[in-house]
Amino acid sequence: MSRNDWEVVIGLEVHAQLTTASKIFSGASTAFGAEPNRQACAVDLALPGVLPVLNRGAVERAIRFGLAIGATVAPRSVFARKNYFYPDLPKGYQISQFELPVVQGGTITIRVGEGEKSYEKRVNLTRAHLEEDAGKSLHEDFHGMSGIDLNRAGTPLLEIVSEPDMRSSAEAVAYARALHALVRWIEICDGNMQEGSFRCDANVSVRRPGAPLGTRREIKNLNSFRFLQQAIDYEVQWQIDTLEDGGTIRQATVLFDPDTGETRVMRTKEDAHDYRYFPDPDLLPLEIPAEWLERVAGEMPELPAAMRQRFIDEFALSDYDAATLTASREMAAYFQSTVDAAGMALAKPCANWVMGDLAARLNKAGLEIADAPVGPQQLARLVTRIADNTLSNNIGKKVFEALWNGDGGPSADAVDTIIETQGLKQVTDSGAIESIIDEVIAANQKSVEEFRSGKEKAFNAIVGQVMKASRGKANPAQVNEILRRKLGG
């Protein structure tokens, strides 16, 4: 067997911080960036004499997630204590769910790769459970010592566990991205990876095809998609090299060091029984009656997969376009409003503008689509003016830039104002185009002769001159046609 005969197996555990204003079992604030230890209350620290009270909003978000992935939302689930000691968990246990999690099963469909070679795959989820976050060790800038900040203690998390279904780092990243987009779409997590609102642990093993699962190592706390990819790639190579050299893999928890691009062992792996899980005696089982489920189901937004299919069916968009436009809810909403204003017949040019010029301009300015200075109504009017031949596509780009700079005001009428005041209306009067062409032919005899002697390139040069002479406003199709006729080409 060669080094190529290894199959990679990956399962991800993702911690998504839920967007509640207060903590999962207390009224303390979850706002990011406060002074250390200002937002941890007696409940978060499990001081004697206080009891946890479950935050309804956190449960509601877990329900939304369960519904979004077609999972079973357990009518009854149980909170358990996971016992361990670590400086950032002075109370000695974390409240989590173990045997009976609130969300069970479900799937997420991912698209891996781009273009021709891309493929779809369904990833199965094992479970998602509610739990509280721990505090955080501060090793920098703390009077030369390490300190503990307990503000994060008790922050609500949804831990989302996948089956070991991914077979490459590309699949793992596609899954993580799809999950990231989904939790933001259903507004249960802000997805801010720098602030730690969405953290991935990657479980990685390798095996000979057909063999039972190999021993896994778990890479902890990856907070960017790039690190996720790099860490898995390094880890896979390390495991293959180790096995090829006759070594064995020991189950372990490892950390990825972005500076060296390597993973290193943090601790050899503990098993569930090491945590002495037991039901938390301070909390009742979580009961979710059918009425609650139904209400939340009624409030769910159209989900990305459904919307993507609708864009294909209703607007005849390609799979690629539909997937791109539903990559985020903001982008999908922007596109939908644009089509609503421009009319369904213009869905394809609307899609092209949103994915093309608008996306590029946002990227250049470092802006999110929700903050785009050109609104959907304006873009719709612009697309309409190109479709009705008032503007050429090229001049349309000029109008777009003017809109971006705020010319003509915020309404859709700004488009017409800009066309009017800047004299950008396309020239479609063939008499006018003809006289420009005559002038250009007279002034460019050399190109004309070159074209007549068979140089097709010279034709384009003359078209260019005509467009220039008309300041870009001549209708390009007409210019081509009239010029061909005149030159007898």
> Would you tell me which residues interact with ligand ADP (CB under 6 A)?
9-13, 161-164, 203-205, 213-214, 216, 218, 272
Structure tokens belonging to residue 375: 């609104």
CB neighbours of residue 2 within 10 Å: 6
Nearest residue to ligand ADP, by Cβ distance, number only: 11
Smallest distance from the beta carbon of 102 to ligand ADP, in angstroms? Answer: 16
Give 16 or 369: the residue with its C-beta nearer to ligand ADP: 16
Give 11 or 191: the residue with its C-beta nearer to ligand ADP: 11
Q: Report how far apart, in Å, the C-alpha atoms of 26 and of each of 11, 48, 204, 325, 409 are.
A: 32, 14, 36, 39, 47
Smallest distance from the beta carbon of 130 to ligand ADP, in angstroms? Answer: 15
Give 219 or 379: the residue with its C-beta nearer to ligand ADP: 219
Give the span between the Cα atoms of 292 and 288, in whole angstroms. Answer: 6
Residues 6+ apart with CB under 8 A from 66: 72, 73, 102, 103, 106, 128
Give 107 or 480: the residue with its C-beta nearer to ligand ADP: 107
Smallest distance from the beta carbon of 74 to ligand ADP, in angstroms? Answer: 17
Structure tokens belonging to residue 94: 């974390």
Residue with tokens 């705020």, as numbered in its chain? 406
Smallest distance from the beta carbon of 275 to ligand ADP, in angstroms? Answer: 9
CB neighbours of residue 386 within 10 Å: 21
Smallest distance from the beta carbon of 253 to ligand ADP, in angstroms? Answer: 9
471 CB-contact burial (10 Å; exposed 0-12 / middle 13-18 / buried 19+): exposed
Smallest distance from the beta carbon of 263 to ligand ADP, in angstroms? Answer: 14
Hey, which residues does 83 pair with through a beta bridge?
A: 93
Give 161 or 461: the residue with its C-beta nearer to ligand ADP: 161
Give the span between the Cα atoms of 74 and 130, in whole angstroms. Answer: 12
Structure tokens belonging to residue 1: 């067997």
Give 204 or 403: the residue with its C-beta nearer to ligand ADP: 204
Give 198 or 334: the residue with its C-beta nearer to ligand ADP: 198
Smallest distance from the beta carbon of 4 to ligand ADP, in angstroms? Answer: 19
Give the span between the Cα atoms of 436 and 142, in whole angstroms. Answer: 74
Give the span between the Cα atoms of 371 and 362, in whole angstroms. Answer: 9
Residue 154 per-residue DSSP state: T
